[in-house]
Amino acid sequence: MKKDDVNALFLGPKSENEKFFKEMLIMMIDEHLQWRKDFHPDDKPAISTSEKKEEIYKETFERTKNALLELSSKLKESSMPWFSPRYLGQMNSDTLMAANLGYMSTILYNPNNCAYEGGPATTSMEIEVGKQLAKMLGYDPKKAWGHITAGGTIANYEGLWMARNAKSFPLAVKEVMPELVKGKSDWQLLNMTTDEILDLIDKTKAGSKFDEVRNHSIRGIGTQGGKFGKVLVPQSKHYSWPKAADILGIGQENFINVQVGSDFRMDIEHLKSTIDNFISKKIPIMAVVTVLGTTEEGAIDKVDEVVKLRDEYQKQGISFYLHIDAAFGGYARTIFLDEDDQFMEYDEMIQKLLEAEVMEINWPKKDVYNAYKATGQADSITVDPHKMGYIPYAAGAYVARDKRILDLISYFASYVLEEGMVNSPTLLGSYILEGSKPGATAGAVWTAHKTIPLNMTGYGRIIGRSVEGAERLYDALKKSEYLEVKGKKFLITPLVSPDFNIVCFAFNEEGNKSLQAMNDLNGRIFDQCSYKSGKVFKDDFITSKTELDFKHYGDAPKKFVMECGIPGDEWDKVKSVRVIRSCVLTPWLISNTNYLQYWGSFLHSMKKALEKIG
Amino acid sequence: MKKDDVNALFLGPKSENEKFFKEMLIMMIDEHLQWRKDFHPDDKPAISTSEKKEEIYKETFERTKNALLELSSKLKESSMPWFSPRYLGQMNSDTLMAANLGYMSTILYNPNNCAYEGGPATTSMEIEVGKQLAKMLGYDPKKAWGHITAGGTIANYEGLWMARNAKSFPLAVKEVMPELVKGKSDWQLLNMTTDEILDLIDKTKAGSKFDEVRNHSIRGIGTQGGKFGKVLVPQSKHYSWPKAADILGIGQENFINVQVGSDFRMDIEHLKSTIDNFISKKIPIMAVVTVLGTTEEGAIDKVDEVVKLRDEYQKQGISFYLHIDAAFGGYARTIFLDEDDQFMEYDEMIQKLLEAEVMEINWPKKDVYNAYKATGQADSITVDPHKMGYIPYAAGAYVARDKRILDLISYFASYVLEEGMVNSPTLLGSYILEGSKPGATAGAVWTAHKTIPLNMTGYGRIIGRSVEGAERLYDALKKSEYLEVKGKKFLITPLVSPDFNIVCFAFNEEGNKSLQAMNDLNGRIFDQCSYKSGKVFKDDFITSKTELDFKHYGDAPKKFVMECGIPGDEWDKVKSVRVIRSCVLTPWLISNTNYLQYWGSFLHSMKKALEKIG
């Protein structure tokens, strides 16, 4: 793909590609209509021509039409204009035509990927997509396992489900086949590496006692309070993680927050001291979760340092399952892959990105690069096609390094899985959390991946535009003079230099020293630049907001508050700061479109907001 | 709706309604395209006209087109012809035009119902649909709570999640606010009714200690082995239930199968003796699950008798949460509701259905009627729009009798829920298992419900046709002479008289006394009437099959095996019988279409199959 192709991939903010979109849709619909007619041509129609002329028949059509028009008017009144560069709120943007068309046309066939016979074509596509994502994330696609989920939340559950069942497996082996773990203490069994556990699975199968062992693991006996240890997650985690601890019966008291720094990345020193503290009390660590692209700040945790720490602990006989929540940031790994899908060296990458005009800025920072380089060393990863894959809702994915781990959660005799079966499983529903699932999602993701390579020449170009847009917004905010409104001066401070494509910022009136007053101000500005109710198309710009408070973040936001000109003791008192948050997913905030126009318009609209709230 | 309207609701087996379908689709697409153009008309296009003429731009279009055509050919090659009356396999049929069009057109707006701001219109629709389903199932929609899930499996998890957290709540109250449960023993606390637990929630809130109490419940401390009791589920359960016990940390050893009778309904006597056995050992019952429409046989459990039993136990101080898995059978309750949505008396109903020409057969059996009448007395219900709601995948739903139960699983301060907030929750994702979720599903279900009333005049007519088709198939099988092939005679025996719309049956050669030989025969017939791989459109009829074995069903299938002419001791030896299974969801196997043609063709194709396997 070349530079300007990106514009030909989306419908566009002004429906610029409407002609092509409609042509394609009609082509796909016609294919489907004809397919129906061609199935057993000898069968007579079930509906007669004369019947179709009856009044009652037409009335039913009218009723359908009226329901659709009501749907349309409701949608138009309040849907978010994701497609517009004016939408700078949540993780949304225009989605890919290939994905939308793939989705819409597959719906007509209504495949169900729960069982192979329910959707032979789309089940194969789902498995193919799983391998593509595994490769994208640095896994060996032959060894790995990946599939589409109903969202990142479900993928996160699946990751922790695997971790939990894995942790309890060695103790179950001790009960059923003690000869396999002879000489090992319980503590050692609670600290086996994921690879050792996977090997143990193979050995229990060889002894034909796999089922019996599984029944002695958490799967059989349930979680037993904190016996199987703690789950460590950074403060910046998505709220699906505490939900996961509840659902999986682990309990909040075994769910531990690790501090983040003022860069909103997990604090590696605090991770280490937390682990040390538990192991000194002989409390095992069930899993560590690290985040590639936090939901609120877009921060990229130092995955490489977490991996390094894990490896060091392993040498000391301490092991834990490592999961990366890359729901948001995962697809950005395409920027790091050259035209042959190889992960590039740092200097080579920076140069190639500029040469190929993927971005006009220098990206990434070195530590972000190192984090992306290390992803293949985690046990499993969550990645969301419906975020940076530009696929419509709902498409998440769970990807694991070693497919043998499926045995820990599968139902039916799936542990006799042959290589061939994993390529087209007869009952996908028995190796995943969900049951019936739309083949249309697989059709959408597959079509998008078929159209757009998962490297810097494809998705890299789209995501590159998003990163560039964010970087431009950050720079502009950083350099912006104060806004003067009714004689008052308002300064804008961005939260952090973005690791990825989220820009958070806050206004403060010059001279104001009250954090509460600053929070009020930003709340009122947000009210002017967001959707609450009524008619969405009245809004000039749409942003989102987030509250960074002590309960969730500790003192991590304090540095920022002080940068805004608020004394540190105000933070100690108020313990919460409100920031305006812009996820820049739009591909249309780059230099050769009308970036400057939008920036001017953005400043103008902020000024208008300040004027309004007086 | 009148009698023949049903034909105007589907695209049809021969794309009979293609003209209307395409018109509607184009209307909806045009509405969307115009909406984009109308948002900030002052903004310039992001893509220039000259750019669109460039070769590279056209090449990208070509790549998209090629990917779509490849998708289309894959779909056409192996998709199941759900739309055809020849498809008599899994729970599939043509889906509603209103739902397909609603789904396809909402995708363009790509709403996300996780948070209100991500899909204001579709979030409201989801809440509205939840209330409609609650009403359909016999709940008070003002008091109840319902929402769409990514499938019945997820809804089942949600039900058991509620049950599990509820069971542990009173003991947590004892730790934090002992004054609220003064004088009650632990056993009594483990046997509080769901209503009492919900009242307790209110009281802990009044004391501002709700959060602290929750942290002492399973949510906070995790499941503690079997401390909170057993989950009782009929042998006929869907496999999502043992998965649920694993995921929720309950453990298989606390997951107990209750026997089914030869009618494949839960054996109430065995349910009672199982409960008695546990309570005699002071082991509490966490939940009882009963099934309205089993996946394999379409059996309708005697919900009314389960409810009666529950009420009797409550008088003795023994309580459990009651969940109905009506994923399959739930929507059929529309047949029982008159034009004013009132549940009809039995005799009145039979007469009204005949008068209004909903069905030409006598349905339902009295015990099926009683089961449907009692649904409103369960604590919660799973129901799948993507099954008998004729909605495309994936749409399940969880519906609870009393919305206060949400507090047991919610995140963020959702327990301060106001009446208004439940009507349009700001963060739906915090009261449900899933996170991001497609607003398009809500758009689809809402449009279908808007077009088709949830009573005998609407959905009742569609499902009535399905029930009638199954009944006709059963009758024909029952009355059919043997098939003679190459001098051998083959008899067909249906498994049971269908409660609903699934017909299972098996062939046996006259005089054969070997169960293994009979199973082999049916396996080979199935191979001729099913999809394995290759080109699906070569098949004449597509059925599914199921194995009823001792491990899952105990001796329930023995009676049927003997009816096929196999001696009982053969069952005791082989302990598994294979049956061909037809879910008759198609609305086109009724008298005034070509039912007889299809029946003739079906027999012919079975004969052909027998000839082939020699």
Give how far A143 is from chain B: nearest CA, Å: 25
User: Coil, strand, or helix at residue A296?
Assistant: coil
Residue A4's pLDDT band (cuts 50, 70, 90): low
> Could you say which residues from 369 to 388 on chain A have a Cβ atom under 8 Å away from some Cβ of chain B?
384, 386
B250 — contact with chain A (CB < 8 Å)?
yes
> Cα(B45)–Cα(B57) distance, rounded to whole angstroms?
16
| B290 beta partners | B324
Write out the two tokens for A246. 């509840």
| A547 beta partners | A578
Residue B603's pLDDT band (cuts 50, 70, 90): confident
Residue A418's pLDDT band (cuts 50, 70, 90): very low
Q: How many CB pairs under 8 A join A and B?
A: 492
User: Coil, strand, or helix at residue A349?
Assistant: helix
Task: Give the residue numbers of A marked as catalytic.
Answer: 415
- Range of lowest pLDDT (A253-267, A334-348, B142-156, B530-544): B530-544
Catalytic residue among B109, B116, B415, B482: B415
The pLDDT tens digits of the residues spanning A195-245 come to 999 999 999 988 889 889 988 999 888 898 888 999 999 999 999 999 999
> Cα(A102)–Cα(A95) distance, rounded to whole angstroms?
12
State how far the alpha carbon of A262 is from the alpha carbons of A548, A559, B358, in Å: 11, 6, 67
Mean pLDDT of chain B: 92
Contact state of A435 with B153 under an 8 Å Cβ cutoff: yes
> Cα(A386)–Cα(B190) distance, rounded to whole angstroms?
43
Burial code (b: 16+ CB inside 10 Å, e: under 16) for B239-276 equals bbbbbbbbbbbbbbbbbbbbbbbbbbbbbbebbbebbe
Q: What is the mean pLDDT of residues A503-518?
A: 97
3-state secondary structure B283-325: CCEEEEEEEECCCCCCCECCHHHHHHHHHHHHHCCCCCEEEEE
> Cα(B80)–Cα(A548) distance, rounded to whole angstroms?
50
Sign (positive or negative) of CA dihedral A346, A351, A354, A358: negative
Q: What is the pLDDT of residue B207?
A: 84
Burial code (b: 16+ CB inside 10 Å, e: under 16) for B121-137 equals bbbbbbbbbbbbbbbbb
Q: What is the pLDDT of residue A603?
A: 85
Q: What is the mean pLDDT of residues B562-585?
A: 97
Q: Give the closest residue to B484 by CA, choosing from B512, B510, B519, B511.
A: B510
> Cα(A408)–Cα(A219) distance, rounded to whole angstroms?
8
> Cα(A392)–Cα(B29) distance, rounded to whole angstroms?
16
DSSP state of A496: S
Contact state of A436 with B60 under an 8 Å Cβ cutoff: no
H-helix or E-strand spanning residue A148: strand A145-149
Q: How many CB atoms lie within 10 A of CB B574?
A: 17
User: Coil, strand, or helix at residue A21?
Assistant: helix
The pLDDT tens digits of the residues spanning B267-313 come to 999 999 999 999 999 999 999 999 999 999 999 999 999 999 999 99
Answer yes or no: B415 catalytic. yes
B63 — contact with chain A (CB < 8 Å)?
yes
Q: Where are the beta strands (DSSP E) in B310-409?
A: 321-325, 380-383, 396-400
Q: What is the mean pLDDT of residues A520-549?
A: 84
Q: Where in chain A is the domain with CATH 3.90.1150.10?
A: 1-43+79-95+455-614
AA identity, residue B196: E
Contact state of B84 with A121 under an 8 Å Cβ cutoff: no
Q: Give the closest residue to B144 by CA, choosing from B472, B377, B443, B393.
A: B377
**CATH assignment of B463-612, given 3.30.450.20, 3.90.1150.10, 3.30.70.260, 3.40.50.300?**
3.90.1150.10
Category of A28 on φ-ψ map: left (φ > 0), alpha (ψ -120 to 50) or beta: alpha
Given a cut of 60, is residue A149 above it in pLDDT? yes
Q: What is the pLDDT of residue B521?
A: 96
Give how far A315 is from chain B: nearest CA, Å: 30
Q: What is the pLDDT of residue B417?
A: 41
- Percent of chain B whose pLDDT exceeds 70: 95
Among candidates A63, A154, A451 on the partner chain, residue whose Cβ is nearest the Cβ of B67: A451
Q: What is the pLDDT of residue A541?
A: 87
Residue A503's pLDDT band (cuts 50, 70, 90): very high
DSSP state of A614: -
Enumerate residues 6+ apart whose C-beta is below 8 A from B280: none
Are the C-beta atoms of residues B367 and B346 closer than 8 Å to each other? no
Q: What is the pLDDT of residue A1?
A: 60
AA identity, residue B129: V
Give how far A423 is from chain B: nearest CA, Å: 14
DSSP state of A253: G
Q: In what order do the strands lie in the sheet with A321-325?
A: A145-149, A396-400, A380-383, A321-325, A285-291, A230-234, A255-258
Give how far B5 is from chain A: nearest CA, Å: 6
Are the C-beta atoms of residues B231 and B245 closer than 8 Å to each other? yes
Given a cut of 80, is residue A536 above it in pLDDT? no
Residues of B in contact with A540 (CB under 8 A): 40
The pLDDT tens digits of the residues spanning B483-511 come to 999 999 999 999 999 999 999 999 999 99
Give how far A20 is from chain B: nearest CA, Å: 8
Determine the residue of chain A that is closest to B211 in CA distance: A252
Angle of helix B303-315 relative to helix B366-373, nearest 10 degrees, comes to 50
Q: What is the pLDDT of residue B537?
A: 64
Given a cut of 70, is residue A423 above it in pLDDT? no
State how far the alpha carbon of B520 is from the alpha carbons of A426, A451, B507, B516, B613, in Å: 21, 46, 10, 6, 11
Q: Where in chain B is the domain with CATH 3.90.1150.10?
A: 463-612
For B92-145, give the DSSP string: ----BHHHHHHHHHHHTT--BTTSGGG-HHHHHHHHHHHHHHHHHTT--TTT-E
Residues of A in contact with B413 (CB under 8 A): none
The pLDDT tens digits of the residues spanning B419-467 come to 445 556 778 888 889 999 999 999 999 999 999 999 999 999 999 999 9
A55 — contact with chain B (CB < 8 Å)?
no
CA atoms within 13 A on the CB side of A563: 16
Given a cut of 80, is residue B3 above it in pLDDT? no
Q: Where are the beta strands (DSSP E) in A201-309?
A: 230-234, 255-258, 285-291
CA atoms within 13 A on the CB side of B390: 33
Q: How many CB atoms lie within 10 A of CB B69?
A: 14
Residues of B in contact with A101 (CB under 8 A): 64, 68
- Percent of chain A whose pLDDT exceeds 70: 95
B392 — contact with chain A (CB < 8 Å)?
yes
Q: Give the closest residue to B56 by CA, choosing from A588, A3, A22, A357.
A: A3
User: Coil, strand, or helix at residue B255?
Assistant: strand
Cis peptide upstream of residue A448 (ω within 30 degrees of 0): no
Residues of B in contact with A108 (CB under 8 A): 11, 100
> Cα(B47)–Cα(B583) distance, rounded to whole angstroms?
50
Are the C-beta atoms of residues A194 and A400 closer than 8 Å to each other? no
Residue with tokens 């819409």: A104
> Cα(A253)–Cα(A244) distance, rounded to whole angstroms?
13
> Cα(A114)–Cα(A436) distance, rounded to whole angstroms?
5
Residues of A in contact with B393 (CB under 8 A): 110-112, 436-440
B35 — contact with chain A (CB < 8 Å)?
yes
AA identity, residue B306: V
Cis peptide upstream of residue A394 (ω within 30 degrees of 0): yes
> Cα(B383)–Cα(B381) distance, rounded to whole angstroms?
6
Are the C-beta atoms of residues A579 and A498 closer than 8 Å to each other? no
User: Distance between terminal CA atoms of chain B?
Assistant: 49
Contact state of A436 with B594 under an 8 Å Cβ cutoff: no
Q: Where in chain A is the domain with CATH 3.40.640.10?
A: 130-451
Q: What is the pLDDT of residue B538?
A: 67
A435 — contact with chain B (CB < 8 Å)?
yes
Counting Cβ atoms within 10 Å, is residue A402 exposed (0-12), middle (13-18) or buried (19+)?
middle
The pLDDT tens digits of the residues spanning B511-558 come to 999 999 999 999 999 988 887 766 666 668 899 999 999 999 999 999
Contact state of A221 with B222 under an 8 Å Cβ cutoff: no
Enumerate residues 6+ apart whose C-beta is below 8 A from B71: A102, A105, A106, A443, A446, A447, A450
Mean pLDDT of chain A: 92
> Could you say which residues from 184 to 203 on chain B have a Cβ atom under 8 Å away from some Cβ of chain A?
none
Are the C-beta atoms of residues A92 and A103 closer than 8 Å to each other? no
DSSP state of B566: -
Angle of helix B240-247 relative to helix B152-176, nearest 10 degrees, comes to 40
The architecture CATH gives domain B130-451: 3-Layer(aba) Sandwich (3.40)
Q: Give the closest residue to B116 by CA, choosing from A235, A244, A534.
A: A534
- Class for domain A1-43+79-95+455-614, per CATH? alpha beta
Angle ∠(A475,A574,A266) on CA atoms, nearest 5: 55
